[in-house]
Amino acid sequence: MAEKRPIIKVLFMKPKEAYFKLSEEERKDFGDKAMKDVEQVGGRWIAFCNCYWSNEEWVYFGVMEFPDMEAVQKHSEFIERLEQVRYVESKSHLGTRASAPN
């Protein structure tokens, strides 16, 4: 049986107009829920960064680590329930850690 390796998720995001229509309190609540769910499914945030100053496409990017694909899928279900697609445009990539080439 193959060894289970953690799944790394790199996520690029930018808020949509609907996000800006939320009150400041609603925006904070939305962000808090999205951040906390990663931990609730057994994952962890490695980094969450503002990158708008370095490009014109994305405002934030994040790097998360999940113990397995099941946790990634549970997190995806939460994102659907949060209706994140209404408030944030995003793009993500999944991978596993690799050794640097020699």
Looking at the chain, the whole-number percentage of residues with pLDDT higher than 90 is 84
* Residue 34 pLDDT: 86
Helix (H, G, I), strand (E, B) or coil at 73: helix
Secondary structure in 3-state letters for 1-59: CCCCCCEEEEEEEEECHHHHHCCHHHHHHHHHHHHHHHHHCCCEEEEEEECHHHCCCCC
> Is pLDDT above 60 for 1?
no
* Residue 2 pLDDT: 63
Looking at the chain, the whole-number percentage of residues with pLDDT higher than 70 is 97
Q: All domains of the chain, ordered by start, with CATH?
A: 7-87 (3.30.70.100)
Phi, then psi, of 65 in degrees rounded to 5: -125, 130
4-44 confidence digits (pLDDT tens):
899 999 999 999 999 999 999 999 999 999 889 999 999 99
